[in-house]
Structure 1
Amino acid sequence: MCITFVYTNPDAKGPNQYQTIVINNRDEKYDRPTSQAAWEDGILAGRDEKNPNDRGGTWMGVDKFGRVAILLSILEPPSSENPEAPSRGKIVNEYLESGESAINFAEKMSMHAHTFNGFHLVLLDRSSLNGNRKIDLVSYMNRHSENVPEIHEPGCYGFGNSPRDKPFHKVNYGLERFETTLAKHLENNDRVSKPALINDLLDILKCPKRHFPDAQMQSQSEQPSELLRHLSSCFVQYPDDHRYGTRSHSILLIDGDDQATFVEASMVSVPENPEDALWDTKYYEFVLEPRPSENRPCPAKNGHSPAKVDWF
């Protein structure tokens, strides 16, 4: 199912202010082949490896310019899903490879979005002109809406598996914690501890607290309540025999100096009891590159360097 929280502040300056913060949980079958986050063709992302002949779909990716795409599925009864529908996982790559603005891509996507099973797409696009930064946050879903992309002003937002105006309880809960966490860490711009911020953001993604019953969730599913309740937490874990739940946590921070930090903690081995799963963490830091249309100088140093994480 997945869940995402996003913060944007185009006026951020320096290393202790953040222009973009994104946190995401990916929920998936434990046994679905998946590769960990890595740079490939200019995109940093984990990837679906189920079909070796058609690999590379992803749930969240970022490019070297700081453009971001996140794909969430919409909770629907199995009877409404089309087994012949095209893969939704390629949408993220298509946006990041296109070079188009977020709103243009979303508008074009809306013209043929009906061919896909239900999805909620979140796009971030950034640009700079004469030193003035612009961040566009756009969301679009192909179910339960007027089929029109939505543009969001700077601030904090939560995105889940239902219409934006009918969020699941866990999205409201997670958004409140997200806002509280950012207020705690960002209110004093001179003393922001990146490791502490990441740990607190990770705590939101790891939260097992259930928020059930949830009338909106129940209205979108045919699952019995005793199973559906397992979807009502930010961190999802179904009973052992279902082999489904949260498989990765992703955190992206971009500061006011265009320094990006990407952290992905993911399950790499899931035994019979998922509570005994082996987790591994990938950590990347890189300086954003200016897009060709921007008129600021290219950073003197740029790298996609993984580093050992000792925060978790």
Structure 2
Amino acid sequence: MCILFIALDIYPEHPVIICANRDEFHVRPTEPAHFWPPENHLLAGKDLQAGGSWLGVNKHGQIAALTNIRAPELQQSDKRSRGELVLKALDEPSTMTANWLREQSHFYNPFNLLFGKGNELYCYHSLNGEVQRLSPGFHAISNGALDDIWPKMAKGTQALEKQLSSTGNIDIDALLAIMTDQSQAEDAELPQTGIALEWERQLSSIYIKHPEYGTRSTSIIIQDHQGNTEFVEVRYDGKGRNLGRQSFKMPAS
């Protein structure tokens, strides 16, 4: 997962709205979002290479989502798969997850992990080991820290705020459109994250279209005050073609 936009306690009937893009190598085998057997208590996509996930929700209404922190100098090939972190966060209460992350995050390459339930959402940033509770409002998480002022983070946040304030209904298609914006930032606005300028440009758009690495899927999560969840996923190939759309309803229990 490479970018998340969150509207928390903004929309009266739906306090949690999350728009997320997963960016990954197109050759990495992936299973679309589904209810995981045998208990079917977890709804998430599955990374078939390492067995974890990048985004999911469970039957209790808990949410977890992962983003990579772009720090190439810190990447190590012998670290554990970060996809495990999503499954861990969906398997226990948030307080336990926070403590576990502080003790175990050094076994993983740098990451942000969004986790929690309802309006109690938290972001763990592995570079400083801090857990930050999200305040009511709009937030973005990408490949730096929570609410960093990167061009695509600011652009998506503003677009989400405008969309939610302009209509009385949540328009799923309009939210998906925000997440397919391919416009790139000007060079002077690009963050400097230790990668080549060509890739800084390529990765500066909300939706990344590239034959080798790019946006594989967009997910929209909408929750009401009871924790009932609507989950929409659209998948794409390396040419930006739509590979399918699916919608799920997950009542809280």
Contact 2:14 2:225 (C-alpha < 8 Å) held by counterparts: yes
Contact 2:74 2:110 (C-alpha < 8 Å) held by counterparts: no
Instruction: Indicate whether 1:142 and 2:137 are aligned.
Output: no
In the TM superposition, structure 1's runs of 4+ consecutive aligned residues that sit over 3 Å from their partners are: 256-259
Instruction: Indicate whether 1:119 and 2:111 are aligned.
Output: yes
Instruction: Spell out, residue by residue over 1:222-265, the C-alpha distance to the aligned partner (whole angstroms, 9 max, x if none).
Output: 32x12320000000123x3xx11000000011134644211000
Q: Which residue matches 1:293?
A: none
Instruction: Indicate whether 1:5 and 2:38 are aligned.
Output: no
Counterpart amino acid of residue 113 in structure 1:
S
Distance (Å, rounded) in 1 between the aligned partners of 2:242 and 2:62: 31
Deviation at 1:166, TM superposition (A): 3.3
Larger deviation: 149-158 or 30-39?
149-158
- How many aligned positions are there? 250
Q: Secondary structure at the match of 2:187?
A: coil
Contact 2:151 2:189 (C-alpha < 8 Å) held by counterparts: no
Identity %: 28
- 1:248-259 to structure 2, matched below 5 A, reads 248-256=217-225, 258-259=227-228
Contact 2:46 2:53 (C-alpha < 8 Å) held by counterparts: yes
What TM-score comes out, normalization by structure 2 length?
0.91
Distance 1:120 1:258, change over 3 A: closer
Distance 1:116 1:254, change over 3 A: same
Instruction: Indicate whether 1:67 and 2:39 are aligned.
Output: no
Distance (Å, rounded) in 1 between the aligned partners of 2:219 and 2:60: 18
Distance (Å, rounded) in 2 between the aligned partners of 1:90 and 1:25: 18
Q: Which residue matches 1:35?
A: 31
Q: Secondary structure at the match of 2:239?
A: helix
What TM-score comes out, normalization by structure 1 length?
0.75
| Unaligned runs of at least 5 residues, structure 2 | none
Q: Which of the residues 153, 162, 175 maps onto 2:135?
A: 153
Q: Which of the residues 3, 18, 35 maps onto 1:22?
A: 18
| Unaligned runs of at least 5 residues, structure 1 | 127-134, 290-312
Q: Which residue matches 1:200?
A: 174
Distance (Å, rounded) in 2 between the aligned partners of 1:276 and 1:5: 21
Contact 1:5 1:157 (C-alpha < 8 Å) held by counterparts: yes
Deviation at 1:112, TM superposition (A): 2.1
Distance 1:96 1:10, change over 3 A: farther
Larger deviation: 255-264 or 83-92?
255-264
Instruction: Indicate whether 1:266 and 2:235 are aligned.
Output: yes
Deviation at 1:65, TM superposition (A): 1.4
Contact 1:160 1:167 (C-alpha < 8 Å) held by counterparts: no
